[in-house]
Amino acid sequence: MPVRVSESSVPSQISGSSSGQSSPPACTLLSVGQAFSGTQNVSSVQNNEAWRVNVRIQGCDLDHGYLCGTMEALNVPMADTPVVTFWEGEIVDTKNYTFFTGKWDATPEDDIRHWTKFQSFSPLMNQAKVDGGKSLDLSNYPYIFMRWKEQYFVNVGTDCGLTIAGFYYVCFSCADGSINGFYYDPNSSPFQKLELKSTNEGRSGFSFSSYELQ
């Protein structure tokens, strides 16, 4: 069983405004080709429901704080087949993106309300409230915070009765590759929880593939 890294490590402050901010850690468990599976809780007052979800990382560009992939929802009630969407992620690297979303109908208050749901965010909260975390150096922090925004449906039409209007606040653990997230859409039930674990496709261990674009 993988060993968890102590969660007491506190990110360092960047000294001086001109100092170069390094990228978040390159984590093999979050590299292209890696797969995750779990559930998204879509419970509302009326019903208690969870969809099975598979995620695959397809692209990663740490210089631009960019990550993308697909998300497959398996037992969606109104769909005959699994519904696959393509999403693009913003990595909170404090260089390209901060904890403040600044779009998609999310206010800084909405942001903090969601980020605080992640325990690993608590050492960062005070600074994040001040400037979105701009002055934090997260390059050695064992968690990667992201926003995932679905961009299009891959295998169904836009008339499928589903919406991808919102986005996810995501926290990835570099230690074990687990992902927690909260879906945010002012028009959907609040705090729908996404819980994913790194999968190894029947292997007894971890396998890593790679491609290189020219």
Partner 1 sequence: MPTSGPNNKPEDLIARLSSSDGEAKLKSLRELKNQIIGNRTKKLSYVKLGAVPAVVSILALAVESGDSSASSVIIQSAAIIGSFACGIDAGVRAVLDSGSFSILVRLISHSNNKVVDAGARSLKIIYQSKLAPKYDFFQKENMESLLSLLNSEIENVTGLGASIITHSCQTSAEQKILCEAGVLKKFQKLLQGSQNQRDASLESLATIIKNNPVVISEFVEADNRQYLRAVIELINDRYYRTRLLACMCLTAIWNTSPSCLQDVGLGTKLIMILLELLDDPGQVGDDAPFALASLIAEKEDMQKLAFEMDAVDKLCSQLRKTPLQAKRIQGIFLALAELCSKLEFCRSRLLYLQVLELVTDAFAHDSSEVRIAACICLKSVSRSVKSLSAGLFMNEMILVPLIKLLNDYSCSVQVAALGAISNIVVDFAARRPTFVQCGVVKQLVHLSTSMDSTVRVNAVWALRNLVFLADGGSKEGIFLELTTSTLLSLICDSESPVQEQALGFVRNLVDGCVESIDYVFTEDGVILHAIGRQLRRASKTEGMYVLSNVASGTELHKEAVLHQLLPSASSGAQSFLLKFLQSDDSRLRTAAVWSVVNLTFPCSPGAYARVVKLRNAGIYSQVKHMVNDSSLDVKLRARTALGQSMTFGDSST
Q: Which residues bind partner 1 (CB under 8 A)?
A: 1-3, 5, 25-28, 33, 56, 58-59, 68, 70, 86, 88, 139-140, 142, 151-152, 154, 174-175, 200-214
Query: Minimum distance between the CB of residue 31 and partner 1, rounded to whole angstroms?
Result: 10
Over the chain, what HEC string results? Answer: CCCCCCCCCCCEECCCCCCCCCCCCCCHHHCCCCEEEEEEECCCCCCCCEEEEEEEEEEEEHHHCEEEEEEEECCCCCCCCCEEEEEEEEECCCCCCCCCCCCCCCCHHHHHHHHCCCHHHHHHHHHHHHHCCCCEECCCCCEEEEEEEEEEECCCCCCCCCCCCCEEEEEEECCCCCEEEEEECCCCCCCEEEEEEECCCCCCCCCCCCCCCC
Query: Minimum distance between the CB of residue 133 and partner 1, rounded to whole angstroms?
Result: 18
32 vs 112, beta carbon nearer partner 1: 32
107 vs 151, beta carbon nearer partner 1: 151
Query: Minimum distance between the CB of residue 69 and partner 1, rounded to whole angstroms?
Result: 8
Q: Which two tokens stand for residue 193?
A: 């929880």
47 vs 209, beta carbon nearer partner 1: 209
Query: Minimum distance between the CB of residue 140 and partner 1, rounded to whole angstroms?
Result: 5
47 vs 207, beta carbon nearer partner 1: 207
86 vs 191, beta carbon nearer partner 1: 86
Query: Minimum distance between the CB of residue 209 and partner 1, rounded to whole angstroms?
Result: 4
